[in-house]
A and B are shown apart, each in its own frame.
Chain A
Amino acid sequence: MSYTGWILLTASLVGLSCGFIGVLLILRRMAMMADAISHTVLIGIVVAFLVTRELGGVHMLIGAIAAGLLTAVLVQWFHSRGVQQEASIGVVFTTLFAVGVVLIATEVGNVHLDVKHTLMGEITFIPWEKIELPWVGAIPEAVFILFLVLLVVLVTILAFYKEWKITSFDPALAASLGIPVLLMHYVFMSLVSVTTVAAFDAVGAIMVVAMLITPAAAAYLWTDRLSIMLLLSGSFGVLSAIMGYYIAAWLDTSISGSMAFSTGIVFMISFLCSPKHGILAKSIRPSMSA
């Protein structure tokens, strides 16, 4: 495949996985938790690098899951100690992120890791770092990992589709039905961390937030059905990824930045023009919404 093709494929995979995960984030009202985790996976990556002296692959995923779970547990713990939920998210992620940045700036930031890379990602390098796979041939490592992550996300969501639905919409009912709500919460946090870290290389820490939250929020404005929302969110993710790439190519600017910006455009269009919950639709028939 061509260079552009690989980049578009990488970006689309990011858009798909983030889009699916994002739906559950929005419905569970945990958007800012995603923001927190996208920052704290940095420390997981740095620590994994310090321990193994290797960048990439399984270590990074494990480090990221650990960091994501640590964030979730710490936020919960501070909250139970009387700190407001919001403030406790703020304390935890800024601290962990700061530690990560300091480690990079002072210890490891010479060759492999640098702060800018982790923030903005380097999707342009992805097609060069290939691995050989049986049957498939040489494909970029990031594409392989993203593909695996997408598979994990899809299988987890589809296999427990009903459980996700109930725990997201009515946790109390879920608990009374005997669904392990807390376990599902932490499984979900792990999924968010894995997706984040896989997308990290491609789009960087902050733009992951855009990919996670914005397409799903846009899809939320179009439909009331979970299955359609999942499909829409995934497609919006892919759409913004591709649109972002071409905007970046046109203006010759940061690809990840313009992907994040494209998610914003998609959201704004939905916000204004969605037939159900859009601003225009509401102003045309105010009696219906009242």
Chain B
Amino acid sequence: MDGGEIRMTNLLSHNAQWVLLSMLILGMAAGIMGCFAYWKRQSLMSDALSHAALPGVVIGFAILGVKNLPVMIAGAAASALLGALLIQWIRSSSRVKEDAAMGIVLSVFFGLGIMLLTFVGRMAGASQSGLDSFIFGQAASMVRKDVFTMTGLALLVLFVAIIAFKEWKLFLFDPHFAKGLGLSSRWMNSVYLAILVLVIVIGIQAVGVILMAALLIIPAVSARYWTNSFKWMVVLSALFGGGAGMAGTLISTFGKGWPTGPFIVIAASSLFMVSLAFGLRKGLLLMFLQQRAQKKQLGQQLSNQSVLERG
């Protein structure tokens, strides 16, 4: 949109390759965290948190007056964490249920973000320095430094998720046993929330606050159609997420000013459709074949029976 950003017109350009690589890693990190969120039944929590990050992004921008990714990421993380705490507080100390609390935080924070965005946009003059791109994502607006920041942080998330994989599994599926082993669930919860927020906020510039949650939710749900094993679900989800991140980014470079986020989501949804149709666990095709086989068997039994009765 602006003159300053580097467009990825040439797919072989060095910058484009870096952006694609970073989207791969971001997608993988999001896919893995999505599985954690899925089993904590917090898929929509990620949606609320990503919306809640918007005011922080804008404030981060307003403080420095220029676009500086680390500061904006810090702002986003602070405001998303505040959102998470508020949801927790509202849920635990009033009779408003969690879904309503999420809806409130999501929409009110986003409203505040839009207010600030309009405000800062006017303050900074004509150019909003690509602040708008934080709403729908603009991977092409990332400069080399942004790409490195994002990749580094995404690798950190991957590292934390993989190094303590066994602990995470216990934490998600058998919290009591985990407690018995001396894992503090409070501590695990905090680490979980921290890396969830981290993966959301680093994805914001590329995918946008509105659709970032999709990159967490859709790959995990797709992976669920293939396996019952948590390990394989995580692996598949990482692959789906990474694939969708790269494919979506690539497609969005074909048009001028096309937002990246929606294309990534559509790529992820296409993978979801394929999983839904052909998945080895409750996939539609499999269910259909099983049903037909059962019908056939039943039909045979019935005809045998009738032969016996007649005979």
A binding-site residues for B, Cβ under 8 Å? 26, 29-32, 34-35, 81-84, 86-91, 94-95, 97-99, 101-102, 105-106, 115-116, 119-120, 206-207, 209-210, 212-214, 216-217, 220-221, 248, 251-254, 256-261, 263-264, 267, 271, 277-279, 282
Q: Which residues of B contact A256 (CB under 8 A)?
A: 111, 114
Q: Which residues of B contact A89 (CB under 8 A)?
A: 43-44
| Shortest beta-carbon contacts, A-B, top 3 | A260-B111, A264-B108, A257-B114
Whether A98 touches B214, Cβ cut-off 8 Å, given contacts A209-B107, A254-B118, is yes
Q: Which residues of A contact B107 (CB under 8 A)?
A: 35, 206-207, 209-210, 213-214, 260, 263
Q: A97-B210, A206-B111, A217-B96 are in contact. List 4 more A-B contacts (CB 8 A).
A: A90-B214, A94-B217, A254-B115, A257-B112
Q: Which of A86, A210, A253, A279 interacts with B44 by CB under 8 Å?
A: A86
A267 to B135, CA, bound (A): 25
Q: Which residues of A contact B258 (CB under 8 A)?
A: 102, 105-106
Whether A86 touches B118, Cβ cut-off 8 Å, given contacts A91-B217, A214-B107, is no
Q: Which residues of B contact A102 (CB under 8 A)?
A: 258, 262-263, 266
CB of B265 within 8 A of CB of A98, answer: yes
How far does the Cβ of B228 sit from chain A's closest Cβ, in whole Å? 11
Which of A94, A97, A252 has most B Cβ within 10 Å? A94
**Which residues, 243 to 301 on B, are CB-close (under 8 Å) to A?**
255, 257-259, 261-263, 265-266, 269, 272, 276, 282, 284
Q: Which residues of A contact B99 (CB under 8 A)?
A: 29-32
CB of A84 within 8 A of CB of B112, answer: no
CB of A94 within 8 A of CB of B104, answer: no
A213 to B51, CA, bound (A): 16
The secondary-structure label for the interface of chain B is helix
Q: Is B196 an interface residue when CB atoms closer than 8 A count as contact?
A: no
Which of B99, B220, B272 has most A Cβ within 10 Å? B99
Q: Which of B93, B103, B110, B261 interacts with A98 by CB under 8 Å?
A: B261
CB closest chain-A residue, reference B215: A94
Q: Which of A81, A98, A116, A252 interacts with B262 by CB under 8 Å?
A: A98
How far does the Cβ of A114 sit from chain B's closest Cβ, in whole Å? 11
Whether A101 touches B111, Cβ cut-off 8 Å, given contacts A94-B213, A119-B135, is no
How far does the Cβ of B298 sit from chain A's closest Cβ, in whole Å? 23
Whether A91 touches B108, Cβ cut-off 8 Å, given contacts A34-B103, A83-B221, A251-B119, is no
How many residues from B make CB contacts under 8 Å with A? 59
How far does the Cβ of A107 sit from chain B's closest Cβ, in whole Å? 11
Q: Which residues of B contact A221 (CB under 8 A)?
A: 94-96
CB closest chain-B residue, reference A212: B103
A267 to B86, CA, bound (A): 12
Q: Which residues of A contact B116 (CB under 8 A)?
A: 253
How far does the Cβ of B122 sit from chain A's closest Cβ, in whole Å? 7
Whether A213 touches B119, Cβ cut-off 8 Å, given contacts A87-B38, A261-B112, is no
CB of B112 within 8 A of CB of A260, answer: yes
How far does the Cβ of B92 sit from chain A's closest Cβ, in whole Å? 11
Q: Is B76 an interface residue when CB atoms closer than 8 A count as contact?
A: no
CB of B266 within 8 A of CB of A261, answer: no
Whether A120 touches B114, Cβ cut-off 8 Å, given contacts A87-B38, A101-B259, is yes
How far does the Cβ of B47 sit from chain A's closest Cβ, in whole Å? 6
Which of A34, A35, A206 has most B Cβ within 10 Å? A206
Q: Is B113 an interface residue when CB atoms closer than 8 A count as contact?
A: yes
Q: Which of B104, B119, B213, B269 interacts with A214 by CB under 8 Å?
A: B104
How far does the Cβ of A71 sit from chain B's closest Cβ, in whole Å? 14
